[in-house]
Amino acid sequence: MPPTATLLRPAAVFDGEALHPGWAVLVEGQRITAAGPTATLAAPAGATVLELPGLTLLPGLIEGHSHLLLHPYNETPWDDQVLKEPLALRVARATVHAQRTLLAGFTTARDLGTEGAGYADVGLKQAIDQGIIPGPRLLVATRALVATGSYGPHLAAVDDLPRGAQEADGPSLVQAVREQIGRGADVVKVYADYRWGPGETAQPTYSLEELTLVVQTARSSGRGVVAHASTAEGMRRATLAGVETIEHGDGGTPEVFRLMRQRGVALCPTVAATDATSQYRGWKKGQEPAPARVEAKHRALEAARQAGVALVMGGDVGVFPHGDNARELELLVTDYGLGPLEVLQAATSGNARLLHLPDRGRVAPGLLADLVAVAGDPTRQVQALRQVRLVMKGGVLYRQP
């Protein structure tokens, strides 16, 4: 049988780079086969025609930093999620998180660590790929790597606590990287800095030599490394070691961001997580001055932009509710001064390029039919991304008007 065909006729198509009023898109099977002016695209015999008046069709959004196995910390503190919630409970909740993410228009997500839930993200990815549960296409990091003694939970009086990530140091990092890849990691995540002890501030954890070992080992398998880093020195070491993206980057200096630009390292600023945790700690946004953490994020992002560092669009969702992924894009526009078109490009074609996903992120023939339609024009009003009316992944409709 020939593949099923669907002709989508919205008011406009955002192709990942620019807006095209009066365009239509033809989908056959799992792929886009044509995109262009509506008058030039005819529906094949037997095709379904979807009229989408007033809607903008765009590539499925790509979430650059999520934790499907976490839920907001104002519901349950991170320590309690890691120490007290059974794995089965966390996985069951994650299946709902996956569905909410997809229905919010995010058809791909890079999930950066299970936070004590082992390799559950690999099984979650398999369940989605096999059609058992609805969810985005996943890139998973499994357990992530931390230096001994640097990661939570921190309870000094208790021995042998479960950890939120895999501890490894020195030469043992090679085995840990290989182990995670062998169990299904698409990307390796390393914590280049963290709070070493209870109540301490973040400090660099791994040496440059250790980080280089992680990158070289991952590269042998064709995988990249992503680094959690919030101190300037942690960011510098991770950049020199050859990581592909740095997450958070709160303490980045102009010098470090220039180095990142020279080395082609991208920044995922996760402004939504900083905003959310600051409010959890009592900040009354709009009524009180921004706390130091938020001010630091503003300075860092401004320095990164001045240096020309590429941005990965990702909010660290899980710290705040899954399905609320658009919060990162909104805050970057409303609070940080980026333009709606800029963040939309970053969340589609930009993330696809930086995360090595050449089969998605744009509306073009031959690419995956991962498509979203929203009410209004998101290239002018980022809030339009909240008005999701249609979600298609691989040619399958999960939401439609």
pLDDT at res. 1: 62
pLDDT range class, residue 2, cuts 50, 70, 90: low
* Helix H or strand E segment including 126: helix 120-129
Q: Coil, strand, or helix at residue 28?
A: strand
Q: Give pLDDT tens digits for 196-253.
A: 877 788 999 999 999 999 999 999 999 999 999 999 999 999 999 999 999 999 999 9
Q: Sign of the C-alpha dihedral, residues 151, 261, 357, 26?
A: positive
Q: Give pLDDT tens digits for 333-386.
A: 999 999 999 999 999 999 999 999 999 999 999 999 999 999 999 999 999 999
β-sheet bridge partners, residue 21: 12
Residue 305 identity: R
- Asked if 247 and 229 count as a contact pair (C-beta separation under 8 A), the reply is yes
Q: Give pLDDT tens digits for 102-159.
A: 999 999 999 999 999 999 999 999 999 999 999 999 999 999 999 998 998 876 667 7
Q: Give pLDDT tens digits for 12-66.
A: 999 999 999 999 999 999 999 999 999 999 999 999 999 999 999 999 999 999 9
* pTM score of the predicted model: 0.97
Residue boundaries of the structural domains of the chain: 5-59+360-399, 61-325
- Asked if 60 and 108 count as a contact pair (C-beta separation under 8 A), the reply is yes
Q: Sign of the C-alpha dihedral, residues 249, 110, 312, 238?
A: positive
Residue 189 tokens, joined: 């995540």
What is the CATH class of 5-59+360-399? Answer: mainly beta
What is the CATH class of 61-325? Answer: alpha beta
Residue 186 tokens, joined: 């698409």
Residue 82 tokens, joined: 């890691």
Distance CA 172, CA 392 (A): 43
Residue 313 tokens, joined: 């669009």
Is the per-residue pLDDT at 282 higher than 70? yes
Q: What is the dihedral of CA 247, 251, 257, 263, to 10 degrees?
A: -50
Q: Which of 155, 24, 153 is nearest to 85 (CA)?
A: 153
Distance CA 352, CA 361 (A): 5
Distance CA 241, CA 364 (A): 35
Q: Roughly how many angstroms between the first and final C-alpha of the chain, as a whole number? A: 27
Share of the chain residues as helix, strand and coil, in percent rounded to the nearest 5: 35, 25, 40
